[in-house]
Structure formats: structure tokens, C-alpha cells
Structure 1
Amino acid sequence: MKTDLLVIKDELRKYAKTISKLFSMDVGICDKNLIRITGSGPQKIGEKIKGRANKKTLETKETTVILNPREDEICNGCSEKKCCLEVLEISTPIMYEGKIIGLISLVSFDENQKKRVLENLKNYLDFVEQMAELISVRFIEYNENLEKTERENILSTILNTIQKGVLRFNSAGIITSANNFALKKIDLDSSVVGKKLNLSFQNDFLMEEEVYKLEVEEKELNVLGKILPFEAFGKNEKIFIFDDMTKVNDGIRGLVETSNSVSLKNIIGESQFTNLLKERIKHVAPSKSTVLITGESGTGKELVARALHYHSSRRNAPFVVINCAAIPESLLESELFGYVRGAFTGADKNGRMGKFELANGGVIFLDEIGDMPLYLQAKILRVLQERKVTRVGSNRNIELDIRIIAATNVDLEKKIAEKEFREDLYYRLKVIPFEIAPLRDRKEDILPITRNLIKKYNKITEKYISFIDIEVEKLFLKYSWPGNIRELENVVEFMFNLSDNSDILSLSTIPDKLLENKSISNAFKKSDEKFEDNLEIEEFHEIEKRYIKKALELFGKDTEAKKNIANKMGIGLTTLYRKIQKYKL
């Protein structure tokens, strides 16, 4: 807030001239410190105005009139009393918020002037007080305009720093201001101010905001926003705060998509199958065609889908995963296609985007598609054909630019024969088929995958295992791995949890399931010949139980004895405790 009258000196000059003409007296308008701002007479601008009337007015905040300078008691003590030439002094305060911000000082040196003023003194004083009030009002207006401008500038600065569009418009829909973000998104310059704005609610919600169609001149776009009342600066307007649909969609995608990048180097293996698989991924990745990946559970179907995405032109676009078997049938349609407000009981009040919409521009991976209900298969078929999706409860089509990759571990042709899967959808999906071989049919991949898993769990567990026991390798290569790579990873993680501080993945930590067909002579050290002979004719678990029981009788049951037994058996102490508990010893 400005408190110096100097800011309106141009207007003060006009007022001083008017007063001077009317009174035929010297006029001075000064600030609260009696520094002359403007006026008539011999005194210069910037000098301090003299006169006892002015000092008295500063004290009383009232108009002061000295009719007889030198003789009036107010003049007592004045150093210039004897040489004073003034015959009349009038001083009127200029007030603002109860404080003096300046004075109007009138001085006469002529008796005829004085006589003329005194003949109609009351009217003259009324006039000068009105002029003082007018100056005060003008000063208030100046400050209000200044405040308004400052607030406008501050508001504009704030609005231009936020990453949302802001449009102010009046009751006629005419835009009165727009921030930089809004201009950028509408692709217009500041000339948009004064143009007509059309906002059409699309009866759709997302992230608790309404979807609008925004139109200015020939520009048109769908945005998320809210219309709010805006009463400020003496105007009754509205503001529209909006965000770019693409930006919001990207933010939502970031919450739902799994963004782990998977390239060909993440597909581990040395088998002929794996090498051919990598070559095929290279050739197919740039295509936009739909892919169907089949194979047993745990073979790495999602890994292949991610590699296809990574090596395509959609690499930086979303990769959205939906497991068709993991979502309840009643929710699957709304998860895939989204819904609008009020589409069904329990629906989010603001509606929700579906996975297809979230994947727009990128890839949607439909895992376990063989478990999708028949009625939804028809809708998926329509999406494949038309490349459009409609939210549940809405009639607005949303254009899609996506690549669909589906995967299943069931025999879809068998499901077709059983009338559980649509034949037309099957052939729509099977444009580019990938069949992933089980781990038992590509044994050359087992050890490379195991070594890669060891690196992974070394980081997770902060252990430093560098080698695999030769017996462990033999067991891994002989085992059929019905759970494929997923089972292999579970076994490696299990062994890491049971391993001591050794740098080798040893046989002592192998799960019992893999040991069931292994000769005990390859698993344990022998203590006498008679016991060794029995190993060849007795069942594994019974011999192991007898061995541990005998060892406990020979060495004892305290902690040190058990450590000794574990060392002789080539197993960890934790494993020995587990076996003692298992055999109730």
C-alpha cells in the first residue's frame, strides 16, 4: 500500500490550480512531513512548507485558520513573527484511514484577497475540505487500482507456475485471462483473451474430475477439469482449471503398468529353442499384429511379451498387464473397459479408466486369456476388429491405438471343441503364435538360468555364492521341473535361505522333493562299512533316520555334537535340526 501523496502528483497539480484560481491565494499541497508536492507561489517543490497553521493542523487533524498572523496566539514563539508578511493562513488536513497523509495550505499576502475570503469564509472552507476529501478519494482509488494490478500480477505469476490450464471467463463465456499452460494446450497465443469459450460436459469422470470438451475458435480437445466461481477485482466471473487428458492418463498408467524393461538379454538360455526364440522376437517385435503366446505355467510367457514390447516402436509407451484368471468375473469387464459414474452399484463415484484405455498407444498383455468368460470374449473380439472401446454405462467410443499380446497355458483348441472358447477370437489372436517349450525339453537352459538366479539372490540376500555343487547340477538336469522356470527359481530361493556362509550352492540345502530319487551314498559321508552296505538295500528316509539316530548316540545331542554330525553329513546345522524334527529324534 502506497502512503505517499507524491504518487498522484499530476492530479494534485490540477487541484492546486483550481483552488488557487478560486481563492486568489498561494496554494501548497504537501505530504505528512510538510514537504511541498505541488502548488502556486514562491516556494519550490521539495521544500518544507512553513506556517504555524500547518503545524496546528498536524496536531489537531482539523482545519486551522489564522485570521491575524503575528497577533494570533498560535504565532507565539514563531521565529519569523516580526518579519512575517502573511495576512491569512488556512490549513486543511488530507485524511486516509484516520491518519493525516498531507495538507492543503493557503496563504494570503494581500488584504483585499483576505477581505474577499472572509466575506464568504464558510463556503470557502467547505470547498477546500471537499477538495481535501476528493484528493483522499483519488488516493484511495489509486491504491485500490495499484492493489488490483499487483494482485492480478501475483495471480498471473502463480497461475503460470502451475502445470494446469486456467481460463477465466465472464457470464457471456468470453475469456478474460489465460495462463501459459492453457495457451500451450489450446495451441493459441494471448489473443485468445476476448474470444468465446465453449465448455461441454461429457458426462464422464476421471480422477475425481469431470471430462469436458473445450472449444475456442476452431480448436477442440477433451480435458479434465472443474468450473469454479471466481469473484475478485470487482468482477463476477468463473475459472476453468483443466489438465491434459494425455498427461493424466500417463500418470494413471504409471500407477497401474509394470514398467520393468525386459530385453532379449533378459531371456537366459543356450538351447537351440531359446536362440531361435530370440531371433523370432527380433523379427516380430516391430509389427503391430496381435500375438498369442502359449506354453505351460512358469515357462516365461510374460518375459516374451515384454521383450516384444521393448524391441518395438512402442518401447516408451505403456505396457499394461491384466491377468484374466486373477480378477473376479463380475469385475473383469469393468477392469478391461472402465466405467462411468453410476454404471453399477458400488462403482467409484467418479468412474474409472479401463486397462485398454490405459494401454492406449502401447501394449496390453492379456495373461491367462483362456480363462476369460465367453460373453467377454465377444467384446474382446469387437475391440480387436474395431480398435475402439466403450466404458461400461457409456455410449461414447474411445479410439484405440494398441497392440494386443495374449497368453495362456491351456489348450485353446480343446476349449473350442468344448464350446468354452470362441473360435473366431482364437484366430484373431493367433496372428503371430509363439509356443514356449517347457524347461524339461530345453535342459541346456537349466544351468544358465540357475546361474542368473544366483546373481539375483546374491543381491537380495547379500550372500556371495559363486559355485554350484556338481551333485546339485546333476540333480537339476535330471529333474523334470513340472513348474518350469518358476519352480526352478523357488528352489534356488529355498536353497539360499538354508545356506550358511559358504560360497557354494550345496546338496545339503536341496529340497527333499529333488532328493527322493537320489542314492544316499551320493549325499552323505559314511562312518562304517556295515552301515554303508545297508545303504544299498534300505529305503532312503529310513536309512537317513537310522544314520542320524546313530550319530546322535555316538556324538551326543548338545549343540557342538550336532555341529559335528552336520559336518560329517555335509549338511548345514539348520538342515540337521529340520531332519531331527521331521524324524522325531
Structure 2
Amino acid sequence: MLEINNVSELMEIQPTIIRFTQMLSRVLKVDAEVVDSNLVRIAGTGPYSQFLGQKLTSGSRLFRYILETKQEKTIIKTQADDLCADCTSRDLCDETAFLGVPILAGERCIGVVSLVAFDEQAQQRIKDNSALFSDYIKHVAQSVVSNVQNKAKQPHGLEEVFINLIDNMDQGVLVMNQDNSVKYGNQPALRNLNLTSSDLNKIKINIRPLVNCKNKLEGQQHIISLGEREELLVGQFYNSHAHKLFLMSFFQPHNPVIAYETNAVLSEVIGDSTGIRHIKSLMTRIASSPSSVLINGQSGTGKEVIANAIHKLSNRAAKPFIAINCAAIPDQLLESELFGYTKGAFTGASTKGRVGLIQAANEGTLFLDEIGDMSMQLQAKLLRVLEAREVTPIGSNKAIPVDIRVISATNRDFAELIARGEFREDLYYRLNVIPLHLPPLKEREGDVPLLVNYFVALHCQRLGVANPGVTKEVMHSLSHYSWPGNVRELSNLVEYLINIVPEGAPLSMDFLPPNFEKLKPSVAVEAAPSMSGVSLEQMEKHKIEDAIKRLGNRKLVAEELGIGIATLYRKLKKYGLN
């Protein structure tokens, strides 16, 4: 019999099937649907997430065919297939491709798992990966069947099926309850975290996104706190009734362990090099002081990031942080921007006057970037503000008291400017009460991988795309580049790479500009041999062959490749390897 008390075997484990279907859709990036032998929809994503538990009233021809023949069916152009010719819903059908696989329990077909495309992109994914998708579905479906058959003997059958599904996934999965306590992790997840199953009960695990995203993206980078250490992983959260699932991506970033940072503001200053650690320590000590700070560093090193962090750490954090680039604005305009003006103060002035940025920053922080480019006239007026703690708008005779902390920044040599008479020495001493030197990126050993991962997450979030991952070769080359434009140059390069990398491909050496080619690793990173003009399947086959020759053990090969043993067996069969 295919039913038990009029309820199908699949319906009895519907919550598990729903979770499985949602994960399947996310992993393969197409919609998925599961129906039982009675043509009742057990689970579905996208438009098929509605009307669960109801029998299909239309569009069931393909499912009937698979249930009767017990054979899988792939259709790339649905409306052109013979099976769709007499369908009453043919003209209203939005499906562009279909891949259906029977769920077989011995000689019986107890249901169908299908992948469905509704646009050209998803259609192409099914077309290009039909054999791989089919193998993947069959593999996981068999674990469902195995547990269905033994369910009567297991009082906790639902949990057993759920855990078995997760254990047979090639991707790392953490199961968490609603208070974020980790209840279970499969072997790929434990490998990614360098933990054992017993460790999960001993340490506190917290997961937070590296960059706060308004949109929940696939493959978002997360910082996972493991007791006193933190690591970076790519993955996504999914809600599932009383549990949350954290599904890890196949490709994980190659980077050092992140230093544990208890302060949320300091965690925004990306870096763990000696120089950055020293600056973070100094920032915490000077944050509450009202004294002026002068940040010196090359262009693009992130001086405004440091200034903003000092403001957030101070008791002025709830008040304004006003930033202005003194080199980007002409002198006359800069004066009116800083000091403000009254009605009719000069030709073209607003009839209502204007509040200057110094006054707008009252009780907060004023950040003056590239202060070394300010004219001598404005320097004299700024000095008056710092000494008297009051500002006089242009066209006014009335001084307005202000309570501000000034943080300034420059990439210029003040000793040289003062010697040439281009900067007031008395103003310099007013600004340079607390000096901070921000090192160039080339001197920040170990910080490039952290910054690369941060900018990949940031620009993926801004562009609304999935995290592509970065190869070891690329990370090595970026780490050994001199970065004349510092952090700003690195950010711009990562944004460029995110824009040009094809979907599903990692950021590899092929996408880097020519000036990085000479930095390609030789011994430090095991680079694959030249594969110009070679397909991805040939590259994959070569990688598996190489691992087999070196390791001679299938379990070790699977671990090195970051895939499950079942996936390795499928690939060995696919490529005809022993």
C-alpha cells in the first residue's frame, strides 16, 4: 500500500520534507516541489509554496508520468514537449524548464521531487546541470526513503529523518534553536569550524553578519564566535518552525582566524596587524577626552573610518559627526560651509542665511579631512574657534558658543608646510594634541585577507549578488601587492571584481588586472596548472585525479576537496576514475 490511514508516507514527515525542499532550492538556485503518490503537494518553494497538503488540480501530467514509469523526466522547453501538448493549463503555464526525479521505495514510487525554472537564467541552470542535479536529488531522496521505511520502529522518526538528511549533505549545516544555541552540526560544518561534536555542548556559539545587509543574500559572510575565537564563514540562515538552520556555502574564505573583538565599534575597524591593534588600543583611551586629534596617514588609508570610530566610542556618540574634506572645496565656499553666514552676507547668499558645519557639530565631533590644504586665512579663523570655543558666521558681529571636538587628518608633512610658511605653527599645536599615525596598507601584515573578505561582503550587499568567494591564488597576490592607493584602492578593486565575475565562479586570477600577474604564487600556494581553454568539468576531473594520486584514500580525498564521500563516489563514476 502507498498510504497509511489515508495519509501518505511523505505527508507523515512533511515538516522535514519542507525543510529539505527549501534547502534544495537555495543550494541549486531554482524552485523545487515535492508531491506524493496521490499527487498531493507536500512541499514547494516560490509559487508552489502555497496550498500545501492539497491535491494538484492541473499541471499534473508530468508527475503522473514519473509516478507511472518510475523514470526521471527533464524538459527544457516545457510547452514544446509532447507530454504538455494536451495540458489544459498549457497557455497559462509560466514554467520554462522541469526536472522530475521519482522517490523510490523498493519497487514503489512514493512521490516525486521536481526542480522548476520560471525564467531564462534558471532554465539555463537546469539545462547545464541536469545530470548533476539529478544525482544530487536521488542521493538525498534515498536517505528520506530509508528513514520512511524504518519510521514505525523509531519513536522519534521525524528527528531521525531530519538529522539523516543533514548528515548526507555535502554542505555544512548547523541546527540552532530560537535562542541561537547550537543543537547539532553535521561533519562538513564541524570541519569548517575545526570542532568535534562534543565541543558544541561546551562552548558558546554566536553568528552575526560581517556586513549588516538590508536584503538577505545567499552566501552572505558571517562572523562565528566560538568561545574566545572568531572565524569567517559564508552561509545563510533559514527559519524552520522551532529551529533555525545555518547553511554553509561550498566555498569558504581562505583567511586567518579573526581576533576576538568584544567592542562593536572597534570591530568596524577591520584589521589585526600590530599597527592597527595599537591604534585600537589608543582609541579606547582617548575617546572620552575633549582634546583635538590629528590623524596622519597616506591617502586612502581610512582616516575618516578611525575618526568616526573615535566619535562612536566617546560620550558624544549620540551627537552629530560632521565630516568635510578641506581639499575638495574652494576657499570661499569652504569658509561659508564651515562658519555659516547671515541673510544677505554676500552676493548669491541664501535669503535665509545658513548654519555652518562648526555650529552644526555642536556637542559632537567635527572631522576636517586634508586639513593641510586649508588656506592661511581660514587657518586663522579656525584657530580663533579652537581658542575661544565660539564661531562668528560671515556677515554677523555676534559670536555663537560651540562645544565641539575637532579631529583632523592629513597626508602631508606639517614640518615642511610650516617651514615654507604654508601652515600656522600655533594652529598645528592646537590640532596635534593627540597624534595618531595610520600605517599604509603594505605595512599592515595579515590585514589584506580580512579587508578583502569585508569588501567582498560589502559590495555583494550593495550590488545585490551572492558572495562568489576568493581563491587562494588571488588572496596571495592581493596580500603581496604594494597598494599605493591603500585601502581605498583595495575596495575599488574588489567592487570591480564583483561586477565582472560570472555567477557561480569564484574570484580567480583570470579576473585580476595584468599588474597582479607577476605576483602569482609559486611555492606559497599550490596553484593549479594552466587550464586555459579547458572546461570546468575537465578542471574538476584533474583536481580529483591529483588528490587521488597524492592521498590514495577516498575519505581523505573527499575531506581535501571539501565534499561528502557520496558526492566523491558520484564524481568518480562520472569521470570514470578508480
TM, length-normalised to structure 2: 0.45
Q: Which has the higher contact order (CA 8 A, sep 6+)?
A: 2
TM, length-normalised to structure 1: 0.45
